[in-house]
Amino acid sequence: MEVVGQYVVVIIMAICLCLGYIIKHSLDFIPNKYIPLIMAVLGVILNVWLQGWKFSPEILLGGMASGLASTGAFEVVRNLVAKEKDSSNTK
């Protein structure tokens, strides 16, 4: 996990998180199962752009890790909010 953590680019992760949220909640014609794939591809494109249109395995891995980390971050927040709602309903 530490190896992947060094490749995550926070700015790319944030952009992918925002765009993934928009896709999930606004574009009904895109199935949810394709959102991680879209975020991985978008992360690679953004990372290549940020690196001055250079391409290497590290840039590929960094983009994919950042895009996929955005979907993971969304799921973590969604699950935490759901648990808070469940715990407040049982009181």
For residue 2, pLDDT beyond 80:
no
Q: Which tokens go with 66?
A: 């950042």
pLDDT of residue 52: 95
Q: Is the dihedral of CA 37, 38, 43, 44 positive or negative?
A: positive
**Alpha carbons 64 and 47: distance in angstroms, whole number:** 9
Under the banding of pLDDT at 50, 70 and 90, the label for residue 86 is: confident
Percent of all residues in the chain with a pLDDT value above 70, rounded to a whole number? 92
Q: How many CB atoms lie within 10 A of CB 50?
A: 15
pLDDT tens string 32-74: 999 999 999 999 999 999 999 999 999 999 999 999 999 999 9
For residue 14, pLDDT beyond 80:
yes
As a 3-state breakdown, the chain gives helix, strand, coil percent values, each rounded to 5, of: 80, 0, 20
Q: How many CB atoms lie within 10 A of CB 61?
A: 18
pLDDT of residue 82: 86
Higher pLDDT, 7 or 52: 52
Q: Where do the domains of the chain lie? A: 2-89
pLDDT of residue 68: 93
